[in-house]
Amino acid sequence: MTINRRTLLAGAAALPALGGLPFRSARAQAANTIRIGVMNDQSGTYRDLSGPGSTQAVELAVKESGITQRGVTVEVVQADHQNKPDVGSTVVRQWIDRDGVDVIVDVPTSSVALATNTLVREKNKVFLNSGAATSDLTGAQCSPNTVHWTYDTWMLAQSTGGAMVRAGGKSWFFITADYAFGHALERDTGNFVKAQGGEVLGAVRTPFPGTTDFSSYLQQAQRSRAQVIGLANAGGDTINSIKQAAEFRITRGGRVKLAGLLVFITDVNSLGLEVAQGLVLSETFYWDLNDKTRAFTQRLGAMPGNIKPSMVQAGCYASVLHYLKAVGDMGVAAAKASGVDAVTRMKAMPTNDDAFGEGTIRADGRKIHPCYLFEVKSPAESKGAWDYYKLLGTTPGAQAFRPLTEGSCALVRS
Amino acid sequence: MIENLLFELEMAAPQVILGLVNGAFYALLSLGLAIIFGMLNVINFAHGAQFMMGAFVAWMLLAWAGIPYWGALVLAPLIVGVFGVVIERTMIARLYKLDHLYGLLLTFGLALIIEGVFRNGFGSSGLPYAPPAAFNALNIDIPIMFLPGYRVWVVIASVLVCLATWLVIEKTKIGAYLRAATERPELVQAFGINVPRMMTLTYGAGVALAAFAGVLAAPIYSVNPAMGANFIITVFAVVVIGGMGSIMGSVVTGFGLGLIEGLARVVYPEASATVVFVIMAIVLLTRPAGLFGRG
């Protein structure tokens, strides 16, 4: 069911959203000004894990980059793409053509990210993606203007999928959100399971958006006699699937395991530990991972809705920090003149920040850093609010992402 | 052959039961809509938001005041019902003389505002609300399926409330006034009955029904600001199929469509979200007034 009440007024709603981005400063100062546009979901299911929190993280990066002390003005604007590629494309076009935005940041929802990727390349600006999952951003559709920072479907498939197969989960059944992202995640995980000698017994495609009751799909999965039920969905779909699996005791007796292939910390918070405990998931950032991540979280201050930063928001911080370092290095004029040059400079410099530690950016635009496998704590193990994960294992950056040669990215062959 | 059939039956039986549980929500929500439309001639687009408010109030009562599920089941509909009464008195009452469309636009706007306020206050990813352990006694654990006791309770509660509402409207004096006022408000007013107050209370009762469904839903679905928006379009389809304003129609169609949707989830899952609308189109073509409507 794609009819959302907001859709009824989509046309009307899109216009004020676009028009409401006034720039206070005069265009005359534009030469020495970097404009950063944070575009994500401000009103739907991904608001908590990206949304205004991402903008807050970007503003911290601007402050800590120290670039403003050197006389450079940085302006941060934000917009809601409503998880719709057409709305997202219109925002990006206006930002670049009318408002002189140099960098687009975040952009969760794979379909919107792919549309933005094409547009930014056309206009030779910079695209720092943190929120989207599709590995196509650094694969078949890779671009010299794009850096894909935080995570992707290949990484999730290998980390969570790999852990489940190693633990003996050889036969799989997927509950898949019926759109591009769900299909990609099912495909990547299925391939990985088969390569490890496992088998895929079947999949059920659930209408997206609009499915709230997953109990019948869970029962179908259970009847397939698969050892692992893979949830190739995200956000509210994942929350409802896990909640109802607990309610229907799908995993009792330990014969069937549930694999949440894309679970964010905000999802765990929404589920509560009573329901989420024992869930295995993969992230590249956890606020309580080490002293540096804790310090970063501290500096970020109170987030909208009193949440802790998600890996997507941390990715917005780290990618903008690195971009501004490159700008400081090459000069504002050169960075503004060519997005390709700015991204090339970013790739030439090693990255280092409190959220992800040391890392690099590969030729195909893939940011390389470790990936962590976590298990959700039980209520007894948790010492307080947002104390949710225990670390099961770490995949080093070099192995965490799809090998450079396997992504069929044109930038790599040339 | 027979073995095959038995297997099919075994596959379908749990889905029919699960469909019935969803049907319970459709029935409760469309019942409230039908009452409001029948009496006030207002298409209450805020119904989904009021359903969501019911779930949130239940969460607040538990988290902030320590009032458990049973208390919430009584208090949340009352609190949200009073909110409905205020809305009716201050806003909706001014639109009775105008076209249906104005009421629809007003309640639609209200729904967006309410959802926005909750999204700002509580985020979009939702809050946990555990089902009370007492319901485990109702658990049905048979070889072909495990049915949580809480879902059994949802069906029972929904049937009871629907039945009670129907009895009040069809068999009591208040119900008779109500039905009379729906047909000829001026005449009923002339007999000395305070029709405007009756309309206010009717709206409050319809909203309370939505909130009651919200409390029932809180332990099953994620309590989030969009939870009503997910339901409301389907529920409107149920009302249209049943016949606008028909009490019996909305209850029977609610359960019936839940069943059909449940079966679609096995036969062709991709279509499970659209099957209700296909039926709506067919009903509109053949019986424009709905299955139970007087046209």
Q: Please report, for the domain that includes residue B147, its CATH number.
A: 1.10.3470
pLDDT tier for residue A18 given thresholds of 50, 70 and 90: very low
B107 touches chain A (CB under 8 A): no
Residue A28 CB-density burial (10 A; 0-12 exposed, 13-18 middle, 19+ buried): exposed
- Per-window interface: B 154-213 vs A, CB < 8 A: none
Tell me if B123 and A45 make a contact (CB, 8 A cut-off).
no
The region of weakest confidence among A71-80, A86-95, A213-222, A347-356 is A213-222
Instruction: Supply the range of the domain harboring residue B220.
Output: 24-123+140-286
Can you give the pLDDT at residue A29?
54
CB B251 within 8 A of CB B66: no
Give the domains, in start order, of chain A with CATH numbers: 5-151+291-369 (3.40.50.2300), 154-283+372-400 (3.40.50.2300)
Which has more pLDDT, A316 or A249?
A316
Dihedral (Cα; B182, B185, B190, B196), 10-degree rounding: 100
The region of weakest confidence among A286-290, A301-305, A354-358, B201-205 is A301-305
pLDDT tier for residue A249 given thresholds of 50, 70 and 90: confident
Beta bridge partners of A9: none
Which has more pLDDT, A286 or A13?
A286
- A28 has pLDDT over 50: no
Tell me if A249 and B262 make a contact (CB, 8 A cut-off).
no
Give the pair of three-digit tokens for residue A87.
């709305």
The share of chain A scoring above pLDDT 90, in percent, equals: 72
A202 touches chain B (CB under 8 A): no
Chain B environment of A251 (Cβ under 8 Å): none
From B38's Cα to the closest Cα of chain A, the distance in A is: 23
Give the pair of three-digit tokens for residue A21.
């981005």
CA distances from residue A33 to A37, A75, A99, A331, A334 in whole angstroms, order as listed = 13, 7, 12, 11, 12
Helix or strand (DSSP H, E) at A137 = none
A223 touches chain B (CB under 8 A): yes
Q: Would residue B242 count as lying in a domain?
A: yes
Can you give the pLDDT at residue A124?
97
B119-159 pLDDT per residue, tens: 988 888 889 898 888 888 888 888 777 888 999 999 999 99
Can you give the pLDDT at residue A31?
80
Chain B environment of A6 (Cβ under 8 Å): 112, 229
Chain A environment of B124 (Cβ under 8 Å): 43-48, 51
Optimal mutation site among A212, A240, A313, interface B, most CBs of chain B within 10 A = A212
B19-44 pLDDT per residue, tens: 899 899 999 999 999 999 888 888 99
- A&B contacts, CB < 8 Å: 131
Place of tokens 């951003």: A137
Tell me if B128 and A219 make a contact (CB, 8 A cut-off).
no
Give the pair of three-digit tokens for residue A284.
């590249």
Optimal mutation site among A82, A109, A204, A219, interface B, most CBs of chain B within 10 A = A219
All residues at 6 or more sequence positions from A205 whose CB lies less than 8 Å from its CB, including other chains: A176, A177, A178, A182, B269, B270
Can you give the pLDDT at residue A281?
94
A260 touches chain B (CB under 8 A): no
Chain A's closest residue to B49, CA to CA, is A5
Q: Would residue B49 count as lying in a domain?
A: yes
ipTM given for this complex: 0.82
- A23 has pLDDT over 60: no
Q: Would residue B53 count as lying in a domain?
A: yes
Q: What is the mean pLDDT of residues A355-363?
A: 96
Tell me if B123 and A44 make a contact (CB, 8 A cut-off).
no
Q: List chain B pLDDT tens, one digit each, 295 residues.
A: 566 666 666 677 778 888 899 899 999 999 999 999 888 888 999 999 999 999 999 999 999 999 999 999 999 999 999 999 999 999 999 988 888 889 999 999 999 999 999 998 888 888 989 888 888 888 888 877 788 899 999 999 999 999 999 999 889 998 999 888 888 888 998 999 899 999 999 999 999 999 999 999 999 888 999 899 878 888 999 999 998 878 888 999 999 999 999 888 888 888 888 899 999 999 999 998 888 876 5
Chain A environment of B123 (Cβ under 8 Å): 47-48, 266, 304-305, 307
Q: Would residue B186 count as lying in a domain?
A: yes
Dihedral of alpha carbons B232, B238, B240, B243, sign: negative
Q: Would residue B77 count as lying in a domain?
A: yes
Can you give the pLDDT at residue A5?
45
A302 touches chain B (CB under 8 A): no
Which has more pLDDT, A191 or B97?
A191
Beta bridge partners of B223: B127
Euclidean distance between CA atoms A116 and A130, whole angstroms: 13
B50 touches chain A (CB under 8 A): no
Dihedral (Cα; A95, A96, A98, A100), 10-degree rounding: 100
Task: Quote the number of domains for chain B.
Answer: 1
3-state secondary structure A60-120: HHHHHHCHHHHCCEEEEEEEECCCCHHHHHHHHHHHHHCCCCCEEEECCCHHHHHHHHHHH
| CA atoms within 13 Å, Cβ hemisphere of A360 | 9
Please tell me chain B's helix, strand, coil percentages from 3-state DSSP, rounded to the nearest 5. 75, 5, 20
Q: Would residue B2 count as lying in a domain?
A: no
Can you give the pLDDT at residue A100?
94
CB A311 within 8 A of CB A389: no
Tell me if B148 and A46 make a contact (CB, 8 A cut-off).
no
The share of chain A scoring above pLDDT 70, in percent, equals: 92
A3 touches chain B (CB under 8 A): yes
Can you give the pLDDT at residue B6?
65
Chain B environment of A219 (Cβ under 8 Å): 14-15, 18, 145
Nearest to A37 by CA among A302, A316, A301, A314: A316
Optimal mutation site among B104, B129, B155, B222, interface A, most CBs of chain A within 10 A = B222
- A12 has pLDDT over 70: no
Chain A's closest residue to B131, CA to CA, is A247
Q: Would residue B61 count as lying in a domain?
A: yes
Can you give the pLDDT at residue B146?
85
Can you give the pLDDT at residue A6?
47
Peptide bond just before A350 cis, omega within 30 deg: no
Nearest to B45 by CA among B210, B257, B241: B210
Q: Provide φ and ψ at B264, rounded to 5°.
A: -60, -30
A29-50 pLDDT per residue, tens: 568 999 999 999 998 888 999 9
pTM of the model: 0.85
Highest mean pLDDT among A193-197, A338-342, B92-96: A338-342
CB crowding A80-93: b at 16 or more within 10 Å, else e: bbbbbbebbbbbbe
Residue type, B217: A
Q: Would residue B210 count as lying in a domain?
A: yes
Give the pair of three-digit tokens for residue B27.
């029935």
Chain B's closest residue to A234, CA to CA, is B125
- A410 has pLDDT over 50: yes
Helix or strand (DSSP H, E) at A128 = strand A126-129
